[in-house]
Structure 1
Amino acid sequence: METEFKITRTSREIYTKLFEKYTLEQLNKIPDGFSNNLIWNIGHIMVSQQILVYRGAGQPLSISDDLVSLYMRGTRPERDATQEEADQIKELLFSTISKTEEDYRNGLFTTYSARKSELGFSLDSIEDAIAFNNYHEAIHLGIVMSLKKFV
């Protein structure tokens, strides 16, 4: 699992750099032909990790219900994210992963509700969920790379 956590941290470092490179206005811009923006993709991967890992394991999430409702699967940006919200998402990118690593090492995840992902991957264990999360983050990184060309 050390490799999986290392991959997640590397992914999150890439996402974090977007906050340094782009203004809030650029993070919020939805280019023509796209249905979301940079900040939505960043918030979405953070929310999805919490849902995949914690909800799947029957544990409470480390993020607010408000963030979940704004960035979960099936949502799209209804309004511009505020600077406060962007700062919160940036901080949560690493704090949520640190907590997940700690909780995993401490044996918090004793059960997992097996299911298939939207893409058909079998998620039978917490390890599957953590590994699939990396795949999911990579998909969104590809979307982010496309979005960056237009902001």
Structure 2
Amino acid sequence: MDATFKIWETNRKLYLSLLENYSLEQLNKIPEGFSNNLAWNLGHIIVAQQGLVYRLSGLPTYVSDEMTNTYKNGTKPTGKTTQAEIDELKGLLFSLMEKTKEDYANGKFVTYTEYTTGTGFHLATTMEAMNFNNYHEAMHFGFMMNIRKFI
């Protein structure tokens, strides 16, 4: 488990470092040929982790339904994410990670509803979901690295 959390923490630090270099306008820009922006990718990884790890474990998430509905699979960015929303998402990068570590250490993850992701990964346990989450976040980080070249 230590490696899973270590990888996740490194991913999240990379996200924050990348985001710190762009203005709100740049974070909201959807470059030609792309379907989303930096802001949406940030929100998406946060709500995806909550869904994959918490919701499928039968636990309540720590994000609002509004946030989930804004950034879940199948949504598109509006290009109108506010600075307050960006700041909230940046804070959630680490507060939710710490909460997940705490909940894991306290044995809160007992059951899991099996799920097959859109990319074909079959998840049967919370641990598999946490490991897949690292893959998912790295994939979106790659998307963001590509987007940044065009903003």
Q: Secondary structure at 1:63's aligned position in 2? A: coil
2:128 — aligned with what?
128
Deviations 1:115-147 (A, max 9, x none): 211111110000000000001011101100100
Runs (4+) off by over 2 Å: none
The percent of aligned pairs where both chains have the same amino acid is: 52
Deviation sequence 1:50-109 (CA, Å, 0-9, x none): 000000100000111111011011001124100110000000011011000100010000
Partner of 1:16: 16
Contact 2:52-2:133 within 8 A present in 1 as well: yes
| TM-score normalised to structure 1 length | 0.98
Structure 2 distance, partners of 1:85, 1:115, is 30
1:45 aligns with 2:45: yes
Question: What is the CA–CA distance in structure 1 between the aligned matches of 2:14 and 2:60, rounded to whole Å?
Answer: 27
Using the size of structure 2 for normalisation, the TM-score is 0.98
Residue 48 of structure 2 is aligned to residue 59 of structure 1: no
Is 2:141 the counterpart of 1:150?
Answer: no
**Equivalence map 1:2-151=2 (5 Å):** 2-151=2-151
Provide structure 2 residue ranges, at least 5 long, that are not aligned to the other structure: none
Superposed CA deviations along residues 17-61 of structure 1, whole A, max 9, x for unmatched, are: 133110111100000000100010011001100000000100000
* Corresponding letter in the other structure for 1:126: T
